[in-house]
């Protein structure tokens, strides 16, 4: 099943001999160019070459099986994404079997009476969606677009629509808050239609369901609509072959170490395997399902919790299975080095931009170094990506450093050294001492709990600092 050097050369356009040289460089010996390379070695090579290894894996002869859909909830702020997720989670197996106790694990599974199931990503918002996409993790099959019946289509509704369109992911519309007296679902339909969404009531194929996250009315219809959409898509995944999975959430448990919630995209993840996740590695000690029960393996579209990594990866990172501890270390080191190299390149580019801005201030972009701190890894990524959306011809938002946890003195020191701003998301207000030293160093700190508001605040500040931008 592994690729040979010959195939790899064909797929990448590199010569066989140059690939063999690279193999020697990483200490690997291949007797014949027709011997299949192991997945991790092929991955290392393609990483060196800067090509996407996953695209090179052939599906020829693979066994495909039906799999559940993976759903993301998007929509405008305050339209009820979180409430809807809470309501759906209550219908999930986790809530039923665990007596209503639910924990945020990044994903949950709804089991339908028919035996079908739906996997729901438990992080609302377009930022999380684009964070995953930005890292190449095409996890979402269906977007549930939440629109409040009393508020109608708003800027982030449109944003969500374009995200879904760009990613080529179909939408199921949930018109929420249908319980409020001011609800006007018809108006929402007209608005959505005007924005180019082909609703099924008007002969299109986008389903619309009226719901209330509060009274739970229509939830069953929404679940059925999602299932119907999934059926139309005929979702399948290979259950054999190399496992491919993506991280949806990563957190540190004091007793158990790094814990990762991942969704298997294809193949099967098995307890005891050596894995590389982003640039971290480990051996799978436990795989748990969403009920917290240990299981032996994880199958496509199944969210699983993985224990056994040595470090904390990021949301959107991929999970790769490798042959041995040695390989795992090697690949993880290779990726860490590459990250470091990219970071250096970026820093150098920044200096170049600064240099040119002195000679030609009116034409070059203004560079805005920012440090991001947030409560969990998933939000860090979401905030980072949201900030980058502020980039324009005039402004370059450069995220220098990210981290989980409260804003610390060392963040302030770093900010001072790099002339950066600090963005804190869902973290507590820094202590007086830290605030004071930030003030003295003239470092702006933004603290927010809503991405939308954060962007507004930072955006206004950019306009102040950089007149002539918009």
Window of 57-65, 72-80, 245-253, 329-337 that interacts with ligand GDP by CB under 6 A? 72-80
Smallest separation (angstroms) from ligand GDP to the CB of 185: 12
CB 397 within 8 A of CB 367: no
Does 78 bind ligand GDP (CB under 6 A)? Our answer is yes
By C-beta, is 124 or 430 nearer to ligand GDP? Answer: 124
Return the residues of window 143-202 that contact ligand GDP according to CB under 6 A.
176-177, 179-180
The CA-atom distances, in angstroms, between 87 and each of 92, 140, 227 are 9, 20, 17
Binding mask 107-126 for ligand GDP (x = CB under 6 A): -----------------x--
Strands (E), 185-343: 208-210, 236-238, 244-253, 257-266, 269-270, 274-277, 280-288, 294-295, 297-298, 303-309, 318-322
**Closer residue to ligand GDP (CB): 39 or 161:** 161
Under a CB-based contact definition with an 8 Å cutoff, are residues 297 and 270 in contact? yes
Rounded to an integer, what distance in angstroms lies between the CA atom of residue 27 and that of residue 186? 66
Choices 7-15, 74-82, 325-333, 392-400; region in contact with ligand GDP by CB under 6 A: 74-82
Q: How far apart, in whole angstroms, are the C-alpha atoms of residue 103 and residue 31? A: 51
Out of 11, 77, 98, 418, point to the residue binding ligand GDP (CB under 6 A): 77
Q: Which stretch binds ligand GDP (CB under 6 A): 115-123, 209-217, 320-328, 407-415?
A: 209-217
Coil, helix or strand at residue 321: strand
Q: Which of 83, 295, 364, 392 binds ligand GDP (CB under 6 A)?
A: 83
Binding segment (CB under 6 A) for ligand GDP, from list 31-39, 70-78, 253-261, 433-441 = 70-78
Please say whether the beta carbons of 445 and 406 come within 8 A. no
Q: Is 79 in the site for ligand GDP (CB under 6 A)?
A: yes
Nearer to ligand GDP, 124 or 334 (CB): 124
Q: What angle (nearest 5°) sits at the alpha carbon of residue 411, between those of residues 406 and 412?
A: 115
- Secondary structure element (H or E) that encloses residue 445, with its range: strand 445-448
Distance of CA 224 to the CA centre of its chain: 26
Beta carbon of residue 180, minimum distance to ligand GDP (angstroms, whole number): 5
179 vs 184 by CB, closer to ligand GDP: 179
275: left (phi over 0), alpha (psi -120 to 50) or beta: beta
Give the shortest CB-83-to-ligand GDP separation in angstroms: 3
d(CA 233, CA 440): 57
We find the least distance from the C-beta atom of residue 218 to ligand GDP, in angstroms, to be 9
CA atoms within 13 A on the CB side of 307: 15
What letter does residue 262 receive in the DSSP assignment?
E
Nearer to ligand GDP, 256 or 453 (CB): 453
Query: Which of 42, 70, 72, 80 is close enough to bind ligand GDP by CB under 6 A?
Result: 80
Of residues 219 and 414, the one with the C-beta less far from ligand GDP = 219
Residues that bind ligand GDP (CB under 6 A): 75, 77-83, 124, 176-177, 179-180, 212-214
């Amino acid at each position: 099943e592994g690729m040979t050097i010959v195939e790899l050369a064909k797929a990448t356009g590199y010569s066989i001999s140059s690939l063999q040289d690279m193999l020697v460089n990483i200490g690997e010996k291949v007797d014949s160019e027709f011997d299949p390379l192991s997945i991790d070695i092929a991955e290392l090579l393609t990483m060196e070459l800067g090509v996407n290894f996953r695209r090179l894996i052939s599906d020829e002869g693979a066994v495909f099986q039906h799999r559940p859909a993976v759903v993301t909830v998007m929509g405008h702020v305050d339209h009820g994404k979180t409430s809807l997720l809470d309501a759906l989670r209550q219908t999930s197996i986790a809530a039923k079997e665990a007596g209503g106790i639910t924990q945020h694990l990044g994903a949950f599974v709804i089991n339908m009476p028919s035996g079908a199931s739906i996997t729901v990503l438990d992080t609302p918002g377009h930022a999380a969606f684009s964070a995953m996409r930005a890292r190449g993790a095409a996890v979402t099959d269906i977007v549930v677009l939440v629109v409040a019946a009393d508020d109608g289509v708003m800027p982030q509704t449109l944003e969500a629509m374009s995200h879904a369109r760009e990613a080529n992911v179909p939408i199921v519309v949930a018109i929420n808050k249908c319980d409020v007296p001011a609800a006007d679902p018809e108006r929402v339909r007209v608005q959505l239609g005007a924005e180019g969404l082909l609703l099924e009531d008007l002969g299109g194929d986008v389903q619309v369901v009226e719901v209330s996250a509060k009274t739970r009315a229509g939830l069953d219809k929404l679940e059925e609509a999602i299932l119907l959409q999934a059926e139309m898509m005929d979702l399948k995944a290979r259950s054999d072959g190399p496992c491919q999975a993506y991280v949806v959430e990563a957190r540190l448990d004091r007793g158990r170490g790094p814990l990762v919630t991942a969704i298997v995209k294809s193949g099967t993840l098995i307890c005891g395997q050596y894995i590389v996740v982003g640039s971290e590695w480990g051996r799978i000690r436990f795989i748990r399902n969403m009920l917290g029960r240990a299981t032996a393996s994880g199958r496509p579209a199944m969210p699983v919790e993985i224990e056994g990594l040595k470090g904390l990866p990021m949301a959107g990172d991929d999970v790769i299975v490798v042959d041995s501890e040695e390989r795992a270390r090697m690949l993880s080191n290779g990726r860490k080095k590459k990250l470091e190299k990219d970071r250096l390149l970026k820093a150098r580019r920044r200096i170049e931009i600064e240099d040119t801005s002195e000679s030609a201030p009116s034409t070059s972009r203004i560079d805005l170094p920012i440090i991001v701190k947030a409560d969990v890894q998933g939000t860090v990524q979401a905030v980072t990506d949201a900030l980058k959306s502020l980039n324009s011809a005039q402004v370059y938002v450069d995220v220098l450093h990210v981290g989980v946890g409260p804003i610390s003195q060392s963040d302030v020191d770093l900010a001072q050294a790099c002339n950066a701003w600090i963005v804190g998301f869902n973290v507590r207000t820094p202590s007086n001492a830290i605030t004071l030293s930030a003030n003295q160093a003239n470092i702006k700190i933004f603290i927010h709990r809503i991405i939308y508001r954060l962007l507004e605040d930072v955006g206004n500040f950019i306009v102040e600092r950089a007149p002539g931008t918009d």
